[in-house]
Structure formats: structure tokens, C-alpha cells
């Protein structure tokens, strides 16, 4: 019996390269046409889709910020009324955090992590497909609600009692809370996939000390997601219960507690910043090594800094609550922990500087964005140290100083590396190069435009301008700087337009990219651009953290995987020693059905709690369909 099955199995070492490629393509391909689009579980297709969708949300959020700058350019302007303005600033924040920043980082990981660890697909590929559909549904819900004048207007933080049943009538706050549920589900799903992919699917030889730094950063990020997201899930569920069922979690008149919301929200909300920032750090480490032409300095220190940041991230949520009247001694603890996070950040900056110092920098667009990142992010980090100080914060909390600070951290610290990463990995993802000339234009416009737009906000904040105001009075001395900020935003917007034009044009007509255009050291560059559906013809075996530099001519491979069914190599956690062959699921329509059923249940539940009861029946049916054995070779044990 055993012998029989080994004879029937076709293994990759039985075939020469062309017939092996053909056999793998037959097993792994996504069918063309609409059916293929709806059923695919290929992490590359889903990753690209995810990235594209997230950038669409970035553009939409950018349009909102243009509207806000139009309104704020002059005192008592009437471009937007208070109701519309409150919806817009809430949408801008919620959209950028939940629909752009977190998903785009996870999307980059969905695409890159399996390639960087040398495996054929992400772990739980159907869950991955499901997660994308949920993300799309959540984003669509929010934007359709906004188009119908039902957009949330309580801030992306939705503080109670303002977001509670008494002061936020209608369905606006419910839409915010349910959009959170959608993005939570998708983010948690991806986090679990990444953890398992990194722990169990690394290619032979990729021991813990050889994992690419971007993969390390995504591993830490995924753990932060898994630990932080339940807090906001509890918070938003309690809010919905208060609003829909009449519970009193946050109602002070019935012994509920208003501050409980803030604790739960920021226990998630502060780690959220690192969920966005750590992947960017991983991208920077990757690009610095490639363009400095040397392995990154202080690999171990960088990994430790990532882990330290991930742990400290959970110890500083109270610095968002320094003026709520908590005990001063407790606040001092959170000052100390918030300050302490500057140490791992400093370690990273110094290691990158050392890498650049000893390397031979090649000034391509990705490296330019890394330089722009350092220039800008260090300012954001230092203003972060400022607001970590309780007394300092009592003057700048909830002012434009903080608006400046977190845009420096989020745009300077995360979006700049992301744009660099798009230029860097675009050839791998699309098989075409982006334009260096337009890339330099985009870089200069964005970095100059950004700093001119956001630096003056520090001064506005110290001059007493609060956040989240839809206007200000003419007798306040804020008009000049606000006008300057609004005009500077034009430069920033122009930069993003150049970037988008370059990306769209290059995807269609850019020069064809070689497999490894930057002579980069990590595994994703060892396969073709774009990679085949099965990622690697033969599974590479690595003996160092920079395999393509250490073994430039000959790449050893592992063989023995079946070609007639989707099969992955499972390896041990620490040393990545081959352990088993594991089947990887085929394409399926059921993740889409499950996502539709779940979406119906969640949206329906905005209107009646019974939706959770009746709506769970279709979800159960879809899940049964999802797991029902289909008689494919993958179903064999």
C-alpha cells in the first residue's frame, strides 16, 4: 500500500525543469476569468488586491483631508458645516487607520512573507481570501454610509458618552463600531496566517537568526495584533450593546464608567501605532541593506528592538489619557514607559546609520524614501518624547501639536517607507519597473510638501489651536499659518499624484523587470518577476540571512514535494529542519460565501440584536461548505 502510493506520487525530483514547471503550474494555477477571481487562494493575487484596495482608501482619505484643509484655510469659512466636517474628520481618521495603514502593511506581508521565507503559499490560504473579502465589505460599508450622509461623526476614537445612545442618535456610531468588527476580523485572520507561515513554513536552513528583518517585523506585528485587537472588539461590542440593547457599560448615571472606554480603546489604540510602524521598520531594514550594499548592521539588536517595541507597546496606553485626572504617580509610570520606547527606536536608527556609513549607498528611489523617513521620523519620535512627559502633554494634548506629531510618525515613519517599499517590490509584484525619474519627483514633492504642511502645526498647537475644530474665529492669531498649511498641502497632493500616475503607468507599460533588479539578498528575488503561481520551482535551502549574496551562483534546493497536489514543506520552529509535507488547500468559492453571510449578519445587527441569532445560520451553512471534503488529493491525510 505504502509502496503503491509512493509510486503513484509524482515528486519534483522526478522531473526536469520545464516539465516540473508545467506540472506545478497545472496544480497551483488560478483559473482565468471571473471564477478564478472569486475563488483564488493565491497569496500573491490576494496580496496585490489587498494592496490596491488599501491604496484606493488612501486616495479617498486624501480627498477628505483636502476638504478639511479647504475649510480650515480661513477663519469661519463655510466650505463645510460642522456636521459634515465632523463626519469628514472621523472618516479620515477611521479610514486611514483601519482601511489603509493596518491593511496595507498586512497586505505587503501577505504578498511578501511567503516569498521571503521560501514557501509556496501562505498558511490558511482560504482564511486569507476570506479576510480580504471581509476587509472589502467593511470598507465599502463605511464609505457607502458616508455617501448616504450616515458617516460616523464621533471621531475615530468614538469617546463615550458622545458616541453613546444619548448623544449620538441615528446609526452613525453603529456603523463605525461595526466597521471596526469587519477590519478586526480581517486583521486577526491575517495575523494568524503570518505567525503560522513564519513559524512552520520557513524554507530549510532558515533558522531564527536568518529570518529576513521584514519577516521578523511582521511576526512581532502579528502578535501585537493578536493581543491588542480583542480589547477594541470588547469595547466596540459593549458600545453596540449600550446603543442597541440598552446595557450601561459606559453610562455614568447607571454606575457605568466613561473612562473604561478610553482604557479599552487605547489598550488597542496605542499598539495600533506599532502595528503600522513595525512593518515599516522591517521595510527600512530590508531596503537599507540592499541599497547600502552590505548586510544590515546589528541584525540581533534590530530583532531585539522589534520585540522590545512589541512588548513596550502594551505599557503606554495611558499617555493618551494624561489629562483625564488619573493619579499622578501612575501617570509618571506611563511617562517612563513611553519615554523608554525611544530606546529601541534609537537602536534601530543608529543601526541603519551604521549600515549606511559602512556601505556604499546607491541612491535609487527606495533609498531616497528611507532617507526622507529618517529626516522626518526622527522629528516625530522626538515630539513623541515630548508628549510622553505629563506636564508637557497638559499643554499640547488635543491640540494641533499632536496632529503634527502623529502625522510625522505615521506618514514620515510608516508611509514614506511604504512608498519606498512599493518602488522596491513593484518589479517583483508586477514584473515591471517604476520610473526612477518620476520616483525622484514624487519623493521631493512628498517630503518637502509633507514637512511644509505639518511642521507649522506644531506651532499652531502651542499657540493654542485645539484639534477637531471645524473652524476658528477671526480674532485668533491662527489664520496665517493655517493658510500656509493649506497651500503647502497642494505640494504634498501633487507628490502623491505623481506617485499614483507612475504606479498605474508602470504597471501597464513600464520596462520589463529582471528577476533581481536591485541585486538584493533575500529569497523573493531568486524567483521570476512576477513569481509563478507556485512561487519557487524548487524549494531553496539557505545557509545565511542574505542567501543571494552569500550563495550568488548556486542555490541549493530541497526536493521531494509532490507535484500532483498542492504541497508545502513544514519545518521546525527554531532551526527550520524539514519535518513534514503538508497539503495546501485548493481554490474555493466558500470563503466568499462565508464573507457575504458574515457581512449580512454584521450589518443587519446594526438594526436588531436578533440578526446575530438568525444571521448565524447562513454563516454556519457557508462554513460547512468551506470544510466539506471535496475529494481532491489535498484531502488525503
Partner 1 sequence: MIRELHGLALASAALLTLSACTGRQSALDVHGAAAINLKQLILLIVVICSIVWALVMIALISALWRKRDRRERPSSIDPATEHRLTITVVAAVIITVVIIGAFTILSFFATRTLNVAGNDDLTIKVRGLQWWWSIEYFGSTSGQRFETANEIHIPVGRNVRLQLEGVDVIHSFWVPSLAGKQDLIPGRPNELIIRAERAGVYRGQCAEFCGLQHAHMALFVIAEEFPAFEEWARLQRQDATTSSSQEADAGRQAFLAKQCAACHTIRGTTANGTTGPDLTHVGGRQYIAAGLLETTRGSLAAWIADPQTLKPGNNMPMVPLNAEELKSISAYLAGLK
Check residue 346 for interaction with partner 1 (CB under 8 A): yes
Check residue 10 for interaction with partner 1 (CB under 8 A): no
Q: Closer CB to partner 1, residue 554 or residue 637?
A: 554
| Of the residues 22, 37, 343, 487, which one makes contact with partner 1 according to CB under 8 A | 343
Q: Closer CB to partner 1, residue 11 or residue 467?
A: 467
Check residue 358 for interaction with partner 1 (CB under 8 A): yes
Alpha-carbon distance of 158 to 168, in angstroms, equals: 10
Alpha-carbon distance of 399 to 458, in angstroms, equals: 9
CA contacts within 13 A on the Cβ side of 287: 28
Q: Closer CB to partner 1, residue 312 or residue 619?
A: 312
Check residue 14 for interaction with partner 1 (CB under 8 A): no
Which range in 126-134, 333-341, 591-599, 627-635 contacts partner 1 by CB under 8 A? 333-341
Q: What 8-state DSSP symbol labels residue 526?
A: G
Q: Closer CB to partner 1, residue 462 or residue 577?
A: 462
Which range in 13-21, 273-281, 384-392, 558-566 contacts partner 1 by CB under 8 A? 384-392
Alpha-carbon distance of 218 to 223, in angstroms, equals: 9
Of 308, 302, 313, 312, give the one whose Cα is nearest residue 274: 313
Which range in 134-142, 217-225, 308-316, 325-333 contacts partner 1 by CB under 8 A? 325-333
Check residue 169 for interaction with partner 1 (CB under 8 A): no
Subset of 275-304 contacting partner 1 (CB under 8 A): 293-295, 297-298, 301
Shortest Cβ 482–partner 1 spacing (Å): 13
609 close to 242: Cβ distance less than 8 angstroms: no
| Of the residues 149, 550, 635, 636, which one makes contact with partner 1 according to CB under 8 A | 550
Alpha-carbon distance of 93 to 101, in angstroms, equals: 10
Check residue 268 for interaction with partner 1 (CB under 8 A): no
Q: By CB under 8 A, how many residues form the interface with partner 1?
A: 97
Check residue 449 for interaction with partner 1 (CB under 8 A): no
> Angle 213-244/258-292 helices, nearest 10 degrees?
160
Shortest Cβ 300–partner 1 spacing (Å): 11
Q: Closer CB to partner 1, residue 551 or residue 572?
A: 551
Check residue 223 for interaction with partner 1 (CB under 8 A): no
| Of the residues 67, 452, 497, 623, which one makes contact with partner 1 according to CB under 8 A | 452
Check residue 398 for interaction with partner 1 (CB under 8 A): yes
Subset of 176-205 contacting partner 1 (CB under 8 A): none
Check residue 477 for interaction with partner 1 (CB under 8 A): yes
| Of the residues 406, 549, 604, 626, which one makes contact with partner 1 according to CB under 8 A | 549
Check residue 99 for interaction with partner 1 (CB under 8 A): no
| Of the residues 447, 541, 558, 592, which one makes contact with partner 1 according to CB under 8 A | 447
Shortest Cβ 577–partner 1 spacing (Å): 24
Q: Closer CB to partner 1, residue 472 or residue 499?
A: 472
Provide the Cα torsion 191, 193, 194, 200; round to 10°: 140
| Of the residues 26, 437, 468, 630, which one makes contact with partner 1 according to CB under 8 A | 468
Alpha-carbon distance of 104 to 610, in angstroms, equals: 34
Alpha-carbon distance of 97 to 102, in angstroms, equals: 6
- Per DSSP bridges, beta strands 557-558 and 539-540 are antiparallel
- Residue 4: is it exposed, middle or buried by C-beta count within 10 angstroms (0-12/13-18/19+)? exposed
Check residue 484 for interaction with partner 1 (CB under 8 A): no
Of 242, 249, 215, 131, give the one whose Cα is nearest residue 545: 215
> Angle 479-509/436-462 helices, nearest 10 degrees?
160
Subset of 559-578 contacting partner 1 (CB under 8 A): none
Cell of 348: 534601530
Cell of 320: 493618551
Residue where the block lists cell 499659518: 481
Check residue 458 for interaction with partner 1 (CB under 8 A): yes
376 close to 411: Cβ distance less than 8 angstroms: yes
Q: Closer CB to partner 1, residue 544 or residue 625?
A: 544
Subset of 42-61 contacting partner 1 (CB under 8 A): none
Subset of 58-87 contacting partner 1 (CB under 8 A): 81-83, 86
Check residue 395 for interaction with partner 1 (CB under 8 A): yes
Of 363, 456, 368, 462, give the one whose Cα is nearest residue 416: 368
Shortest Cβ 319–partner 1 spacing (Å): 11
Question: Which helix (DSSP H) or strand (DSSP E) does residue 558 occupy?
Answer: strand 557-558
Shortest Cβ 36–partner 1 spacing (Å): 39
Q: Closer CB to partner 1, residue 134 or residue 445?
A: 445
Distance of CA 330 to the CA centre of its chain: 32
Q: Per-residue string for binding with partner 1, 402-431, x by CB under 8 A?
A: ------------------------------
The dihedral through the CA atoms of 594, 595, 598, 600 has a sign that is negative
Alpha-carbon distance of 471 to 373, in angstroms, equals: 31
Q: Closer CB to partner 1, residue 225 or residue 351?
A: 351
Please enumerate in sequence order all residues whose Cβ is within 8 A of that of 116, keeping only pairs 6 or more positions apart, or say none: 212, 214, 215, 522, 523, 524
Check residue 613 for interaction with partner 1 (CB under 8 A): no
Alpha-carbon distance of 494 to 436, in angstroms, equals: 17
Cell of 471: 473652524
Q: Closer CB to partner 1, residue 83 or residue 149?
A: 83
Exposure b/e, 261-298, CB count within 10 A at least 16 = b: bbbbbbbbbbbbbbbbbbbbbbbbbbbbbbbbbbbbbb
Check residue 212 for interaction with partner 1 (CB under 8 A): no
- Per DSSP bridges, beta strands 567-571 and 557-558 are unpaired
Amino acid at each position: 500500500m505504502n509502496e503503491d502510493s509512493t509510486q503513484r506520487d509524482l515528486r519534483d525530483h522526478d522531473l526536469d525543469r520545464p516539465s516540473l514547471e508545467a506540472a506545478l503550474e497545472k496544480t497551483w494555477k488560478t483559473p482565468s476569468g471571473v471564477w478564478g477571481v472569486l475563488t483564488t487562494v493565491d497569496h500573491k493575487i490576494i496580496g496585490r488586491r489587498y494592496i490596491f484596495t488599501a491604496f484606493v482608501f488612501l486616495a479617498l482619505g486624501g480627498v477628505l483631508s483636502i476638504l478639511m484643509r479647504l475649510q480650515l484655510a480661513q477663519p469661519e469659512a463655510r466650505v463645510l458645516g460642522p456636521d459634515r466636517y465632523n463626519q469628514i474628520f472621523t472618516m479620515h481618521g477611521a479610514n486611514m487607520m483601519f482601511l489603509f495603514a493596518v491593511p496595507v502593511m498586512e497586505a505587503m506581508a501577505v504578498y511578501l512573507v511567503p516569498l521571503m521565507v521560501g514557501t509556496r503559499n501562505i498558511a490558511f490560504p482560504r482564511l486569507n481570501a476570506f479576510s480580504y473579502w471581509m476587509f472589502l465589505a467593511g470598507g465599502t460599508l463605511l464609505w457607502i454610509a458616508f455617501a448616504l450622509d450616515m458617516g460616523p461623526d464621533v471621531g475615530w476614537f468614538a469617546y463615550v458618552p458622545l458616541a453613546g445612545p444619548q448623544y449620538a442618535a441615528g446609526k452613525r456610531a453603529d456603523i463605525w463600531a461595526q466597521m471596526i468588527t469587519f477590519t478586526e476580523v480581517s486583521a486577526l485572520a491575517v495575523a494568524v496566517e503570518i505567525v503560522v507561515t513564519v513559524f512552520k513554513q520557513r524554507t530549510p536552513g532558515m533558522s531564527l537568526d536568518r529570518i529576513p528583518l521584514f519577516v521578523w517585523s511582521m511576526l512581532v506585528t502579528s502578535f501585537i495584533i493578536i493581543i491588542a485587537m480583542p480589547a477594541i472588539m470588547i469595547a466596540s461590542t459593549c458600545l453596540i450593546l449600550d446603543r442597541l440593547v440598552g446595557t450601561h457599560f459606559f453610562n455614568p448615571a447607571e454606575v457605568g464608567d466613561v473612562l473604561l472606554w478610553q482604557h479599552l480603546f487605547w489598550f488597542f489604540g496605542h499598539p495600533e501605532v506599532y502595528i503600522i510602524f513595525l512593518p515599516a521598520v522591517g521595510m527600512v531594514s530590508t531596503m537599507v541593506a540592499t541599497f547600502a550594499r552590505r548586510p544590515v548592521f546589528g541584525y540581533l539588536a534590530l530583532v531585539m528592538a522589534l520585540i522590545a517595541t512589541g512588548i513596550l507597546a502594551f505599557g503606554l496606553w495611558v499617555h493618551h489619557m494624561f489629562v483625564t485626572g488619573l493619579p499622578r504617580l501612575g501617570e509618571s509610570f506611563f511617562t517612563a514607559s513611553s519615554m523608554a520606547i525611544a530606546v529601541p527606536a534609537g537602536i534601530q536608527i543608529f543601526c541603519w546609520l551604521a549600515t549606511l556609513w559602512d556601505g556604499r549607498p546607491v541612491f535609487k528611489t527606495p533609498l531616497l524614501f528611507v532617507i526622507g523617513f529618517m529626516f522626518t521620523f526622527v522629528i516625530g519620535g522626538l515630539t513623541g518624547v515630548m508628549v510622553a512627559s505629563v506636564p508637557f502633554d497638559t499643554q499640547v494634548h488635543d491640540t494641533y501639536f499632536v496632529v503634527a506629531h502623529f502625522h510625522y510618525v505615521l506618514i514620515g515613519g510608516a508611509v514614506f517607507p511604504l512608498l519606498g517599499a512599493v518602488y522596491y517590490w513593484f518589479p517583483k509584484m508586477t514584473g515591471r519597473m517604476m520610473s526612477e525619474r518620476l520616483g525622484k519627483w514624487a519623493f521631493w514633492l512628498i517630503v518637502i510638501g509633507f514637512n511644509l504642511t505639518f511642521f507649522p502645526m506644531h506651532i499652531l498647537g502651542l499657540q493654542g489651536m485645539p484639534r477637531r475644530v471645524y473652524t476658528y474665529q477671526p480674532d485668533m492669531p491662527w489664520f496665517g499659518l493655517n493658510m500656509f498649511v493649506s497651500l503647502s498641502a497642494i505640494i504634498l497632493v501633487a507628490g502623491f499624484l505623481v506617485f499614483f500616475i507612475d504606479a498605474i503607468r508602470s504597471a501597464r507599460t513600464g520596462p520589463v523587470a529582471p528577476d533581481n533588479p536591485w541585486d538584493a539578498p533575500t529569497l523573493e528575488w531568486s524567483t521570476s518577476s512576477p513569481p509563478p503561481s507556485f512561487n519557487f520551482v524548487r524549494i531553496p535551502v539557505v545557509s545565511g540571512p542574505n542567501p543571494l549574496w552569500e550563495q550568488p551562483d548556486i542555490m541549493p534546493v530541497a526536493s521531494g514535494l509532490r507535484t500532483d497536489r498542492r504541497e508545502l514543506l513544514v519545518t521546525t520552529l527554531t532551526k527550520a529542519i524539514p519535518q513534514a509535507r503538508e497539503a495546501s488547500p485548493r481554490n474555493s468559492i466558500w470563503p466568499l460565501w462565508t464573507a457575504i453571510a458574515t457581512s449580512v449578519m454584521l450589518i443587519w445587527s446594526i438594526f436588531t440584536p436578533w440578526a446575530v441569532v438568525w444571521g448565524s445560520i447562513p454563516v454556519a451553512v457557508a462554513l460547512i461548505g468551506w470544510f466539506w471534503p471535496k475529494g481532491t488529493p489535498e484531502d488525503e491525510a
